[in-house]
């Protein structure tokens, strides 16, 4: 009949995948895989006889959108050929990831059954490794380039998690990294809401159990020349306390008096 499931393989090789995602991979007719490294790819290959890497579709100098379209086409072609297709993506397949969402949408539009199985994302690892609870002060998530391209109302009383700072400001979608002059634009945006000396964190979860988590603290002003690559996430802790909403607290007081 043809179907599509996009599953998450988690961040750390071998230990983060859910039993249901593993089962989907094992039962699939064909598995398309997009993960962080070759070892993880080999691990997925051990679960199914027909595993095809989506990695070769990436090409520096070519828009990622073109690579994504080719990945979509490869997956949808097999669905239309009547195969039960699995797309296995590192982390959570629906977190800061365009292809899995789009592939499911396209397969459904064509009348095929398609759904997503969640995985452990970089965000999940970050909360565990940094001891942050997104519920304590609230938590904002943005892609670095979005903060440069669009006017964004940031809340400095909450956490700010910035994804893909390594390619901040890349409008061509064709670069694997952007230089200090691009990071300087991100810094300029952030300095509108945070002091230059505010301590921020560069975070990299372990992809292999033997790897160390990277957790580097630095002042915001040092961002421009910091080591930031494709797997780095930037974490900006709150810089001011949450401000009480006195008008609402007064209304609450009146309600409570009526109880
Ligand atoms: N779907 C992935 C997930 O669930 O984590 C995220 C994919 S998004 C295209 C890539 C971004 O995720 C990176 O630029 C970085 O911000 C973050 N990321 C990827 N690997 C990471 C790692 N090992 N540690 C921390 N952040 C990571």
Tokens linked to 166? 């390594």
When pLDDT is averaged across residues 7-36 and rounded to a whole number, the result is 96
Q: Is any atom of ligand 1 closer than 6 Å to the C-beta of 121?
A: yes
Sign of CA dihedral 125, 126, 131, 135: negative
Is the CB of residue 219 less than 8 Å from the CB of residue 197?
Answer: yes
Distance 8 CA to ligand 1 centre (A): 12
pLDDT at 84: 98
Count of H-run helices and E-run strands, the chain: 9, 10
Instruction: For 215-253, write each residue's pLDDT tens digit.
Output: 999 999 999 999 999 999 999 999 999 999 999 999 999
Which residue carries 């064909």 as its tokens? 30
pLDDT at 138: 98
What atom of ligand 1 comes closest to residue 214's alpha carbon? 24
pLDDT at 156: 98
Distance 118 CA to ligand 1 centre (A): 15
pLDDT at 174 over 90: no
Q: What end-to-end distance do the CA atoms of the chain give, in Å?
A: 59
Mean pLDDT taken over the chain: 96
Residues taking part in catalysis = 64, 68, 90
Q: Is any atom of ligand 1 closer than 6 Å to the C-beta of 204?
A: yes
pLDDT at 45: 97
Q: Ligand 1, atom 10: nearest CA belongs to which residue?
A: 164
Distance 239 CA to ligand 1 centre (A): 24
Q: Is any atom of ligand 1 closer than 6 Å to the C-beta of 95?
A: yes
Is the CB of residue 212 less than 8 Å from the CB of residue 16?
Answer: no
What stretches of 96-179 show up as alpha helix (H) in DSSP?
98-109, 122-130, 134-137, 144-149
In a mutational test of the pocket of ligand 1, which residue from 58, 89, 96 has the highest number of ligand atoms less than 8 Å from its CB?
Answer: 96
Q: Ligand 1, atom 20: nearest CA belongs to which residue?
A: 231
When pLDDT is averaged across residues 66-72 and rounded to a whole number, the result is 95
- Closest by Cα among 40, 39, 44, 106 to 74: 106
Instruction: For 192-201, write each residue's pLDDT tens digit.
Output: 999 999 999 9
Give the pTM: 0.95
Is the CB of residue 230 less than 8 Å from the CB of residue 204?
Answer: no
């Amino acid at each position: 009949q043809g179907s599509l499931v996009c599953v998450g393989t988690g961040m750390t090789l071998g230990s983060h995948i859910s039993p249901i995602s593993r089962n989907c991979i094992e039962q699939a007719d064909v598995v398309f895989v997009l993960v962080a490294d070759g070892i993880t790819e080999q691990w997925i290959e051990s679960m199914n006889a027909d595993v095809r890497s989506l990695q070769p579709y990436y090409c520096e100098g070519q828009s990622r959108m073109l690579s994504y379209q080719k990945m979509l086409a490869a997956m949808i072609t097999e669905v239309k050929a009547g195969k039960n297709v699995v797309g296995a993506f590192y982390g959570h397949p629906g977190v800061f990831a365009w292809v899995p969402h789009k592939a499911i949408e396209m397969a459904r539009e064509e009348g095929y059954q398609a759904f997503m199985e969640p995985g452990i994302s970089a965000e999940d690892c970050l909360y565990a490794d940094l001891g942050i609870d997104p519920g304590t002060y609230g938590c904002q998530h943005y892609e670095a380039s979005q903060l440069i391209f669009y006017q964004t109302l940031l809340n400095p009383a909450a956490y700010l998690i910035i994804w893909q700072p390594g390619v901040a400001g890349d409008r061509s979608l064709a670069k694997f990294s952007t230089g200090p002059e691009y990071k300087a634009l991100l810094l300029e945006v952030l300095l509108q809401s945070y002091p230059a000396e505010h301590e921020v964190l560069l975070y990299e979860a372990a992809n292999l159990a033997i790897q160390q988590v990277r957790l580097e603290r630095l002042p915001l002003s040092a961002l421009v020349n910091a080591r930031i690559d494709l797997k780095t996430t930037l974490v900006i802790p709150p810089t001011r306390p949450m401000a009480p909403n006195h008008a609402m607290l007064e209304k609450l007081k009146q309600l409570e008096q009526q109880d």
